[in-house]
Structure 1
Amino acid sequence: MTRSNKSAETRARLLEAARDVIRAKGYTATTVDDICSAAGVTKGGFFHHFASKEQLGVAAIAAFDTMAGALFGSAPYQMLPDPRDRVLGYVDLRASMIQGDVALFSCLMGTTVQEIYATHPELRAACEEGMSGHVAMLARDIEAAKQLYAPDAHWSAENVGYFMQAALQGAFIFVKVKQSTELGRECLGHLRRYLETILGQPSSDQTKERTQ
């Protein structure tokens, strides 16, 4: 392995360790030592790549955002021709992911920003960029579904996208509070039913068109 490849691998391990340790312990409780231990990297190796925990946090959020974009951008529901089905398919996928250790399915950005929004402006800005970008991705399908099924509705696709993320982040919080992944999935079940209501049920003619 070349030196540049080894350096890139070390940096990747630090980013992955920050992602997982911060989701498990929170940003404030996570130390550089914790991250180094999880990554199998010396403290000297850490500071070779990052000047501070905050700098690593910003980079970890950017990496998490890229990973999430690839995951949801290539998810099977994206192939569905009907935008309403894609909106609901997104919720179904998020619900299916709520299992096992909460640190492995919760959002790094949501976990981080709850603690640091008033104290670490660079981290908050990174979280805002990533989370709002994700909402914009959802809003494209929500708007297309609105035009088909609820063109006269007074709500905006963007606001519904933010509501979806608020429900999702809230579900993560209550999974932590109650130690119940089942409760998290039930919360998203209610979100799905709400979306079915505001987007309306496809008419029989629309159903025929979708299946032809």
Structure 2
Amino acid sequence: MPKAATKLDARRKLLDAALSVVRTRGYSAATVDELCAAAGVTKGAFFHHFKSKEELGVAAAQYWSQMTGALFAEAPYHNHPDPLDRILGYLEFRKALLQGGVPEFTCLVGTMVQETYETAPAIREACDRSISDHAATLESDIEAAMRDRALAADWNAGSLALHTQAVLQGAFILAKAKGGPAVAADSIDHLIRYLKLLFEPAPETATRGE
């Protein structure tokens, strides 16, 4: 294998290791030695690619965005003709991803930002970009659903898109606390019901005597 390809492979291995180790142990508990062991590379290789664990954290957040972005871009919910069905389909897709152990379905950037929002501003900013950019992928469908239903609201598509992420990240925290995905699935179901009521409210009940 060419030397340049070997170097790139080591970097990719370290990023993959970060996704696994950080979601399992947390950013603070994950040591450089442990990350190197999980990646199967030397400490010298680590510091060839990253000046510090913090720099790896920033790169891991960007890598996470690339990996998950490709996954969601190819997801089948985009095929629904109704934009509201696309939004609900997105949430059903998120629910379907609640497979395996807690570290396998929880969010890397959500995990990191909880630990580093004060101590590592560069990681916090990278996590913010990841979460916010992902939320932004929902905005056009939310705007279209609002137009289709002539929905006049004192909120906008961006704020609702971010709210979906707040619920999902909170669901991951509950899953960690309870040790399994059931509570996260319930939270997503509640969010789906909320959105249905928001976009398709039940007709007002006739007042008594009418």
TM bin (shorter chain): over 0.9
Question: Which sits farther off after the overlay, 151-160 or 85-94?
Answer: 151-160
Deviation string for 1:82-124 (max 9, x for gaps)? 1111100010000111121111111111100001101111111
**SS of alignment partner, residue 99 of structure 1:** coil
In the TM superposition, residue 150 of structure 1 has moved relative to its aligned partner by: 4.7
Whole-angstrom CA distance in 2 between matches of 1:73 and 1:18: 23
Tell me the residue number matched to 2:113.
113
Tell me the residue number matched to 2:64.
64
Deviation string for 1:172-209 (max 9, x for gaps)? 0111101121111111000110011111169xxxxxxx
Tell me the residue number matched to 1:2.
2
1:149/1:201 contact within 8 Å kept: no
Moved over 4 A (4+): none
Question: Which sits farther off after the overlay, 183-192 or 151-160?
Answer: 151-160
Whole-angstrom CA distance in 2 between matches of 1:106 and 1:180: 10
Whole-angstrom CA distance in 2 between matches of 1:100 and 1:143: 34
In 2 relative to 1, CA 130–81 (structure 1 residues): closer, same or farther, beyond 3 Å? Answer: same
Counterparts of residues 21-100 of structure 1 (less than 5 Å): 21-100=21-100
1:177 matches 2:158: no
Whole-angstrom CA distance in 2 between matches of 1:150 and 1:45: 57
Q: Which amino acid aligns with 1:114?
A: Q
In the TM superposition, residue 54 of structure 1 has moved relative to its aligned partner by: 0.5
State the TM-score, normalizing by the size of structure 2: 0.93
2:101/2:180 contact within 8 Å kept: no
Tell me the residue number matched to 1:127.
127
In 2 relative to 1, CA 150–38 (structure 1 residues): closer, same or farther, beyond 3 Å? Answer: farther
Q: Which amino acid aligns with 1:28?
A: S
**SS of alignment partner, residue 153 of structure 2:** coil
Query: Which has a greater percent of helix?
Result: 1
2:27/2:115 contact within 8 Å kept: yes
Q: Which amino acid aligns with 2:153?
A: A
Q: Which amino acid aligns with 1:112?
A: M
Whole-angstrom CA distance in 2 between matches of 1:166 and 1:108: 15
2:57/2:123 contact within 8 Å kept: yes
Tell me the residue number matched to 1:154.
154
Aligned residues: 203
Q: Structure 1: give runs of 5+ residues left out of the alignment.
A: 203-212
Whole-angstrom CA distance in 2 between matches of 1:101 and 1:85: 29
Tell me the residue number matched to 1:19.
19
1:200 matches 2:166: no
**SS of alignment partner, residue 196 of structure 1:** helix
Q: Structure 2: give runs of 5+ residues left out of the alignment.
A: 203-210
Q: Which amino acid aligns with 1:184?
A: A
In the TM superposition, residue 22 of structure 1 has moved relative to its aligned partner by: 0.6
